[in-house]
Amino acid sequence: MRKTWIALALLAVVLLLHGGLLTGAQPPDPEPAPAAQAPAEPPAGHASPVLPVLLGVVVILTAAKLGGAIFERFHQPAVLGELVFGVLLGNLALFGYTGVEFLGTTEGIEILAELGVILLLFDVGLESNLDEMKSVGASSLVVAVLGVVAPFFLGWGVSAWMIPDEELLVHIFIGATLCATSVGITARVLADLGKLQKRESKIVLGAAVIDDVLGLVILAVVAGVITAAGTGGTLSSLAILWIVVKAILFLGGAILLGTWLSPRMFRVASRLRIQGWLLIVSLVFCFSLAYLANVLGLATIVGAFAAGLILDEVHYRDFLDAGEHSIEELIHPIYVFLVPIFFVLMGIRVDLSTFGQVSVLGFAAVLSVAAIIGKMICAAGVLEKGLDRVSVAVGMVPRGEVGLIFASIGASLVLHGEPVISSEVYSAVVIMVIVTTLITPPALKWTLARGERHRAAAAPAIE
């Protein structure tokens, strides 16, 4: 424990030094100058946009590793420590220290964080493969559909009950916000606990991906309807259908085409025999599908997961035979570098000061309960017997980054001159996201352990 405090003291020194340096020297520019633009004032020292990123990465990685170390010491998943230390970092202003406020507003840090979550889902995809996905496909599909339908109507109902003055479309939008599942948190917890290979894990991950697609389709449709209503028109059912078809075409197409293309791509690459080819080809493939997913109106992480799902060791046997590491091993250092940035940044974005408003807290509490109950119904969707249904349901609870994205889209949509999601509702949705996200790692750890104890107790009776 003493070592942890030494490390904590070091972090404090860095931050204090930074605060001092900021007043004494060049501040990291929160709105960096356009690229290739040199600083207007000497002494030299190039005021490049990389500067706040360098400082930010130093602070974030230090916080991430300290938070992770402390939480692991108390037998909690490291990711929870990263989130909590992120919340602390993001709210130091409440204690009068504003030296780290640039962390949440620096675009470069956001980009690294998003590359991090893309790599996280790519890695999750790599750890799965299509045949396994198919074997849990039926359960995943039922779990996913229940996990979308139940929270949607629960959220709609809660919203109509708690804020009856708002319009119908607002209630529908809040319902949509509750649909998403953030596979990132669950995947990270399962990875930290070494449970990614469990059948329950595969059902959750498969369902979370289907859920993400379903949720994004609902969001796209609801947002389309709201925009049409805002401009006095209506969205044609053809347009709604097109959004749905696009999503299905992307996943199906990516998997079909990718399964055909990726062995050929690797064969070409392996014959060129250049240092680092395997890693580069994998990254290019992952980023291409992530980009393509977005072009089609889906989340980048859906594309990254599809990319990981498609790539299989069989495809790059030539590289492995030549003594190269596997893609997972090659990706790992980049993962270690970027993924914690994402989780700390998610924590940083949380504004603790909204927690002070009682009405916000009340709505947030009801919304959180609806969000949790809505996903617990997923347990009924596990078709196979003998599996740990509760863990599957708990794994579906976190809304994470997807929930935050939904909320921010709602805040930007305008209906009759006002944002669909008002700032109070926004705060409540953000709190719901935090609660569902923070509750999952310890809950999942607990239910998994309980499930294993049950099975261990049951096993002798069967034998």
Task: Tell me if 240 sits within 8 A of 224, measured CB to CB.
Answer: yes
Q: Sort 181 into a burial class: Cβ within 10 Å, 0-12 / 13-18 / 19+.
A: buried
From 198, 315, 349, 399, residue interacting with its own copies (rule: CB under 8 A): 349
Q: Does residue 416 interact with its own copies by CB under 8 A?
A: no
Judged by CB, which is closer to its own copies: 237, or 275? 275
Using rule CB under 8 A, residue 309 touches its own copies = no
> Given the complex with its own copies, which of 199 and 246 has the nearer CB atom?
246
Alpha-carbon distance of 68 to 444, in angstroms, equals 17
Stretch that binds its own copies, among 155-163, 333-341, 367-375, 437-445 (CB under 8 A): 333-341
Smaller CB separation from its own copies, 34 or 417: 34
**Under rule CB under 8 A, residue 337 binds its own copies:** yes
Q: Which stretch binds its own copies (CB under 8 A): 179-187, 202-210, 273-281, 451-459?
A: 273-281
The CB-of-16 to its own copies minimum distance in angstroms stands at 14
- Token pair of 387 as six digits: 């599996």
Rounded least distance, CB 462 to its own copies, Å: 37
Q: Where do runs of H (alpha helix) occur along 233-312?
A: 237-272, 277-295, 300-310
What is the rounded CA–CA span in Å between residue 368 and residue 318? 50
Q: Determine if 389 is a binding residue for its own copies (CB under 8 A).
A: no
Q: Which residue in 92, 130, 334, 415 binds its own copies (CB under 8 A)?
A: 334
* Residue 429 lies near its own copies (rule: CB under 8 A): no
Residue 153 and residue 216 in contact, taking contact as beta carbons nearer than 8 Å: no
- Dihedral sign for Cα atoms in the order 65, 347, 372, 135: negative
The Cα 402–Cα 299 span in angstroms is 9
Place of tokens 């998403």: 180
258 binds its own copies (CB under 8 A): no
Q: Which of 83, 89, 100, 115 binds its own copies (CB under 8 A)?
A: 115
Cβ pair 155, 175 in contact under 8 A:
yes
- The one among 158, 170, 216, 378 contacting its own copies by CB under 8 A: 216
User: Residues 46, 75, 385, 416: which binds its own copies (CB under 8 A)?
Assistant: 46
Q: Give the type of residue at 258.
A: G
Q: For its own copies, how many residues bind (rule: CB under 8 A)? A: 97
426 φ, ψ to 5°? Answer: -60, -50
3-state helix, strand, coil in the chain (%, to 5): 80, 0, 20
Kindly tell me which of 150 and 283 has the beta carbon lying closer to its own copies. 283
Show contacts with its own copies in window 144-203 (CB under 8 A).
Answer: none
